[in-house]
Amino acid sequence: MNVNLQVDFAGFKLKNPIIAASAGTTKDTEHACKAEDAGCSAVILKSIQEEIVNRYNPFPRFAVIRNGISGFNSVSFMSYEQAFEGDIDKYAETILQTKRKISVPLIASLNCVNQETWAKYAVIAEQAGADAIEIVPSCPVGAFVRDAEDFYPIAANALKSVKDVTKIPIGIKLTQQMSNPIVCSMKLEKDGADWLTMFNRTPGLQIDIDSMAPIMHKGICGHGGPWVVQSVMRWIAQTYPSVNIPISATGGVTRWEDVVRYLLSGANNVQIASLIYMKGYSVINGMITSLEEYLEKQKVNSISELVGKAANELLHLSEADRSYRYYAKVDLDKCISCGKCKDICIYNAIRFSKDNTEIDSDLCDGCGLCEQICNRAIFMNKK
């Protein structure tokens, strides 16, 4: 079976739905080439920021926070990385040189403070050869992090300024720091956005309990990791039915399955950066192979058929099936008496011993937590 990974995105025919996100992993021509060689279907250059302090990195600037409940994996990736290390003229030269080296679409990323700068930077980027521009009216570590009250007007004005002076596709990267991304997305589509990127990193803070002070240069920094996928998917799935322009997902991807989930939630493509930091560029090629195998297994000809499929199945709270009650049951042939279920049932329905595990169906509330904790011998059964 021949499967097709191609997606149509803002006028481009991308060979697959994986894009190299704007980050240190796309900071110059060399790294953009690595992203293309690894299989990325487009490259978004590291953002040029008007705010000069954000052009210079502090060292070190990354932290992997390993925490969570014992026995369960939980990782947060914190980054104090700054923007492109240079001014707009150097950025234009990087665009020019990179366009000569790569064959996939090259997208510039602009992050400005003053209204007039958006148009100025956009014209320079387009003239240098950028195929499209992603404008970014927020920054998790900048002085101009937007909140619920002022993000839309700033984003709308920036979009209008750029659209007025350019002819190439223009997308806008949203922030979760607003009250209603759905309404904001609908307005930005009417304002002329060619795509929406959901979302920029969220600001985060980690504190060292020995020094009793914040880590990462005692500041707020970008905060991401696997935990963010569910939050981003929620907004994509709820926004997808309300807009006609494509959505580009970004944040928290750790494996190819996350790419599939983002597509099913309504994303047209997925931007990746942190995973490349953690695993190297070669991880992309493996994900592409897995996507092909998944489509073959599912007997799906084109990956575009996945887009929004799960979003269309999303039910309102009032529509959740409450007609059946369930209780937990133990498959004694699979039970290894590990004790994971011991003491977790707040309904006192589990009787555990090294020789036997029993669940009282009359006391069991059917919440399903023991099945998730065990993940081996306990399953849910209809009453």
- Whether residue 75 contacts residue 12, with contact meaning beta carbons closer than 8 Å, is answered with no
Euclidean distance between CA atoms 154 and 145, whole angstroms = 11
Euclidean distance between CA atoms 207 and 220, whole angstroms = 11
Find, among 245, 249, 297, the residue nearest to 271 by Cα.
249
Domain at 322-382, CATH from 3.90.550.10, 3.30.70.20, 3.70.10.10, 3.40.47.10: 3.30.70.20
Q: Supply the mean pLDDT for the chain.
A: 92
Q: Which is it for the CA torsion 35, 199, 23, 158, positive or negative? A: positive
Q: Which fold, 7-313? A: TIM Barrel (3.20.20)
| Cα-based distances in Å from 24 to 47, 60, 85, 169, 204 | 9, 14, 10, 23, 19
Mean pLDDT along residues 122-144: 87
Question: What is the percent of the chain where pLDDT is above 90?
Answer: 73
Domains in the chain: boundaries = 7-313, 322-382
Residue 221 per-residue DSSP state: E
What is the per-residue pLDDT for 324? 85
Query: Count H helices, E strands: the chain?
Result: 10, 21
Task: Kindly report, residue by residue over 250-265, the tens digit of the pLDDT.
Answer: 999 999 999 999 999 9
Task: Kindly report, residue by residue over 83-99, the tens digit of the pLDDT.
Answer: 899 999 999 999 999 99
Task: Kindly report, residue by residue over 180-228, the tens digit of the pLDDT.
Answer: 999 999 999 999 999 999 999 888 899 999 999 999 889 888 888 888 9
Asked whether the predicted pLDDT for residue 310 surpasses 70, the reply is: yes
Contacts of 63 (CB under 8 A, 6+ apart): 77, 78, 79, 206, 215, 216
Find, among 77, 107, 136, the residue nearest to 9 by Cα.
107
What is the per-residue pLDDT for 73? 77
Tokens of 383: 């009453």
Euclidean distance between CA atoms 90 and 48, whole angstroms = 10
Euclidean distance between CA atoms 269 and 259, whole angstroms = 8
